[in-house]
Structure 1
């Protein structure tokens, strides 16, 4: 769904001044000067000699996020890896539908040595085709990797049809206090001020607020004001975020991804997506936004680039879910002389969710099936990749990859890492971030927990400095005017941790009849969700069309897929108990 949901949020943190940093256990961490003059001065945590192999090993990495850096040795971190391991990564752009590209590569056998996979279904295809190398023996000889991912490894094994380990994932493990992932509605602060700082929450609140805001602000900076923009044309758009109201309440999380089922965190079971009451309310919300002229008419054709262009212009009043672009837009508005026009992330709930007033289930991912990495059978030197991966799992590796270098990106004060002024200056400069290498090596793993010094490996995730570094003065003033103590205040008070556990590991064999049915369910939902948003002219028409669509949907017998998901969940629970 979310185009690598946590990768996307990671870029939000980078752009918003919450750069990818990590913690240090002390002064043993390499400094930038040490890395450039004598990379062997800090030995690998594997205990093996750190003398780099003689042969230069260039590995292709497919990416849709990085379009500036072509080779890893253009960055400080990449140079260190080159000097220490004689490995260089060649970043190759993969435009278009990434999953389709992976399927084509699998069919032709021309996939890269290290591959990024965005969903369990595609991962399943690669495993069944014999395209991925098992990592079980590697784990036995790699104490850093085994310790770091001790919770994840049994769960990762469960996703493979033969019970072997073929992957690792980025963005896990997670500390809930460091990473509260809430992607709701971005709202322009000058309009909030204009209407007396309303504490928006329900869908009705937003429709009333945005309707009035459009009336009061028909144009912005000489352009027509847009009520709400969403990049629904992205593969994860209509399929994922058009129905994701379900995660805003007190029962469900997005642990199941964006396919045909959703995960009920409270009852610990899978349910059908399209027939879910909160999914219906989500689509009904967008229908009302569309009818009121609030929803931009281009949302169904806009991809992320078009979305960003509109957002950066400042003419947008609100955004749905895609809030990771807000920091860059805010800085652009400040640079353009409009500091009063800032965006902040605010909560939303459906009318039923507001009425029930349940604790929101805030997803904490134990696994991330949209951020899978694996070594393929095309790898020329898999043993060297594994050596690098073990180092990346060590304290030294995590600090270097996520924090940079002592003396340049951070200093050590009382045994803890403290970001330097130079580091802080990179927080609003994407080119500076890329030159260090932050965010470019996530395929080696990145963790959202604390290091041995008690500081998050990503320093920007320290709750105390998230707002200090991530909020502009105007954003802080806006939250204060709303009565919030911090940008996460509402969510901490009204939500609770919801670990994904086994739910994120369950998937149906994509080559089976049920796998084909599952895809039909997804395609049906995506096609008809668009109709539900644009066709009904009132609530009665929406209800009639919804019931007609559900009637046709039931003919597919979606309960067969839902039942299979729950059967597999129980089966995997038994397997997990044996693996622990």
Structure 2
């Protein structure tokens, strides 16, 4: 909807509500004031909370606390209003959230919640979204968004149809609505290696998996101990839903992007499963070889995520495959420790020289991950109003940049930047927690990409900040490899109109959902055995695994995936 039409729409809505005498006490806030009253001034656009446009003075600001369960990441439980950002939003809306994070197994936790009916008001179920939908634990949001979510509808407008389930309802608000492509400071999927290894061998350019493991092997032989403990050559992450961290590298190494369970031929647009392909065998066999050479950390095959992060944080692990967002806690811990040699750099490795890497994602919208309001929520309208308020551009700047003059500055061209002191401060984990960046950095309705004034949504993707935020060790590494930013190691992503297949909606109990579950169950049993087996037995065990894999309904799954690809090529939402 164009801006002019939006203003008339909101004005008309307010008039109708006023005529209807719309007031429902403390449990339902009134709708926002007219667009003209909410339009940010130049000072508001700076993100200064003292001048930030807040909810209408007529809106219900009675203090209320809602419960919020985040199943996606570990974190410190607490109240949002105990942080600077959370208190500022509470001042605008009267709303506080009591935050709880996942401890233990995701499926077990969700199963207990659903069986007992003890649900929070708001939940981020991560990969357990189908379980929640199947149990009808999320309420439809369509009417609430129509009535209380004009800013959400404006932000998510280009993706509105993608957000709908097959029954036409919207049950979750995904994160995030992209507005322009901005490279991530945190690397996407990559084979990480300690900087000390690279320095030891003169900063070699690594492009293949064999080169990578050869370096790790040589360094481990030369340095059997680091920081008072045994040197670990290579770690893997297999915990719970993060099992994809073990399987995703296979197609990447073959020069393919992460489509989930399939890969799609660029010419024929035909989708085929990855689980039984030669590139999967080649990857798992390389881990088998690494284990036989004493390079693999066997404990990592059964370790929990927090144990994995703790081990990376010791500085004794030379290499691993992962995604930048999953290892932020370890990277921060190592940065705080102050030993640059123990920090990591990631490379988009391939099996064979000359293969173009495709680790960098093209712009995409992930519709099957997000935040929902549960059937136990006491006041869904108030929650939606809070979400709608937080996605206003001035509040998005507040949540991701903080306060002008305190956590960032604005130059005479309107460009946001941070001083050295502000960069150091905002990268400190304790400050991130107390200020609120930890709670609000993700897992809420939000935008991404570029604001209307051209500044990046996120400080760590703003060129002016990235260049200043690099340590001397970072600069040494970048200079050694002729890079401006670390993501320069990646090839530009090829355009794929269907990408990625894994974001397509799959209902709980559908044939494609059952295939994925059975496939994962099979790989959870087979892959550790394959990795830890004597090399001479690998081929026989692989053949057994492929035979079991082909007992699954592969054809039905590939037919479904090809339907997704063709629908998206033809402009249909799926």
TM-score, normalised with respect to structure 1: 0.82
Question: 2:572 aligned to 553, 573, 576, which one?
Answer: 576
Counterparts of 1:130 and 1:223, CA distance in 2: 49
> Which residue of structure 2 aligns with residue 192 of structure 1?
198
Counterparts of 1:467 and 1:419, CA distance in 2: 10
Q: Deviations over 1:128-152 (max 9, x none)?
A: 4433222223444533222211232
SS at match of 1:242: helix
SS at match of 1:82: helix
Matching of residues 286-301 of structure 1 within 5 Å: 286-301=287-302
Q: CA deviation at 1:334?
A: 6.4
- Assess if the C-alpha contact under 8 Å between 2:174 and 2:445 holds in 1: yes
Q: CA deviation at 1:486?
A: 2.9
SS at match of 1:576: coil
SS at match of 1:186: strand
Q: CA deviation at 1:476?
A: 2.0
Mean CA deviation greater in 412-421 or 147-156: 412-421
**1:135 corresponds to 2:151:** no
**1:550 corresponds to 2:546:** yes
Mean CA deviation greater in 280-289 or 360-369: 360-369
> Which residue of structure 2 aligns with residue 165 of structure 1?
170
SS at match of 1:380: coil
Is the alpha carbon distance of 1:434 and 1:201 closer, same or farther for their aligned partners in structure 2, counting shifts above 3 Å?
A: same
> Which residue of structure 2 aligns with residue 148 of structure 1?
155
Question: 2:247 aligned to 243, 246, 262, which one?
Answer: 243
Q: CA deviation at 1:115?
A: 1.4
> Which residue of structure 1 aligns with residue 508 of structure 2?
510
Is the alpha carbon distance of 1:574 and 1:363 closer, same or farther for their aligned partners in structure 2, counting shifts above 3 Å?
A: same
SS at match of 2:160: helix
Question: 2:555 aligned to 556, 559, 563, which one?
Answer: 559
> Which residue of structure 1 aligns with residue 53 of structure 2?
43
- Assess if the C-alpha contact under 8 Å between 1:156 and 1:168 holds in 2: yes
Counterparts of 2:76 and 2:551, CA distance in 1: 48
Matching of residues 438-449 of structure 1 within 5 Å: 438-441=437-440, 442-449=442-449
Q: CA deviation at 1:360?
A: 1.9
- Assess if the C-alpha contact under 8 Å between 1:184 and 1:345 holds in 2: yes
Question: More relative contact order in 1 or in 2 (CA 8 Å, sep 6+)?
Answer: 1
Q: CA deviation at 1:75?
A: 0.6
Counterparts of 1:305 and 1:427, CA distance in 2: 23
Is the alpha carbon distance of 1:396 and 1:480 closer, same or farther for their aligned partners in structure 2, counting shifts above 3 Å?
A: same
**1:455 corresponds to 2:455:** yes
Is the alpha carbon distance of 1:225 and 1:550 closer, same or farther for their aligned partners in structure 2, counting shifts above 3 Å?
A: same
Is the alpha carbon distance of 1:53 and 1:235 closer, same or farther for their aligned partners in structure 2, counting shifts above 3 Å?
A: same
SS at match of 2:349: coil
> Which residue of structure 2 aligns with residue 27 of structure 1?
43
Q: Deviations over 1:274-316 (max 9, x none)?
A: 1133222221221121111111121112222222332222222
Counterparts of 2:368 and 2:572, CA distance in 1: 21
Question: 1:76 aligned to 54, 75, 84, which one?
Answer: 84
Matching of residues 120-519 of structure 1 within 5 Å: 122-141=128-147, 142-157=149-164, 160-173=165-178, 175-179=180-184, 181-232=187-238, 234-237=239-242, 239-249=243-253, 252-256=256-260, 261-264=261-264, 266=266, 267-321=268-322, 323-324=324-325, 338-351=339-352, 354-355=353-354, 357-358=355-356, 360=358, 362-364=360-362, 366-368=364-366, 371-414=369-412, 415-441=414-440, 442-469=442-469, 471-491=470-490, 493=491, 495-496=493-494, 498=496, 501=499, 503-512=501-510, 515-519=513-517
Is the alpha carbon distance of 1:94 and 1:358 closer, same or farther for their aligned partners in structure 2, counting shifts above 3 Å?
A: closer
> Which residue of structure 2 aligns with residue 55 of structure 1?
62
SS at match of 1:363: coil
Counterparts of 1:370 and 1:332, CA distance in 2: 31
Q: Structure 2 stretches of 5 or more lacking a match?
A: 1-39
Provide the aligned C-alpha RMSD in A: 3.0
Counterparts of 2:401 and 2:41, CA distance in 1: 12
Counterparts of 1:382 and 1:276, CA distance in 2: 47
> Which residue of structure 1 aligns with residue 8 of structure 2?
none
SS at match of 1:214: helix
> Which residue of structure 2 aligns with residue 92 of structure 1?
100
Counterparts of 1:335 and 1:514, CA distance in 2: 44
Q: CA deviation at 1:66?
A: 5.5
Counterparts of 2:344 and 2:91, CA distance in 1: 42
Q: CA deviation at 1:105?
A: 2.1
Counterparts of 1:191 and 1:96, CA distance in 2: 34
Q: CA deviation at 1:213?
A: 1.0
SS at match of 1:105: helix
Counterparts of 2:282 and 2:176, CA distance in 1: 31
- Count the aligned residue pairs: 529
Counterparts of 1:203 and 1:502, CA distance in 2: 25
Is the alpha carbon distance of 1:370 and 1:312 closer, same or farther for their aligned partners in structure 2, counting shifts above 3 Å?
A: farther
- Assess if the C-alpha contact under 8 Å between 1:192 and 1:198 holds in 2: yes
Counterparts of 1:335 and 1:390, CA distance in 2: 36
- Assess if the C-alpha contact under 8 Å between 2:273 and 2:558 holds in 1: yes
Counterparts of 2:495 and 2:466, CA distance in 1: 19
Mean CA deviation greater in 162-171 or 561-570: 561-570
Counterparts of 1:123 and 1:536, CA distance in 2: 39
Counterparts of 2:393 and 2:335, CA distance in 1: 38
Is the alpha carbon distance of 1:117 and 1:203 closer, same or farther for their aligned partners in structure 2, counting shifts above 3 Å?
A: same
Q: CA deviation at 1:190?
A: 2.0
Counterparts of 1:499 and 1:25, CA distance in 2: 38
Q: CA deviation at 1:483?
A: 3.3
Counterparts of 1:575 and 1:451, CA distance in 2: 27
- Assess if the C-alpha contact under 8 Å between 2:197 and 2:216 holds in 1: no
Q: CA deviation at 1:74?
A: 0.7
Is the alpha carbon distance of 1:79 and 1:485 closer, same or farther for their aligned partners in structure 2, counting shifts above 3 Å?
A: closer
Counterparts of 1:394 and 1:263, CA distance in 2: 38
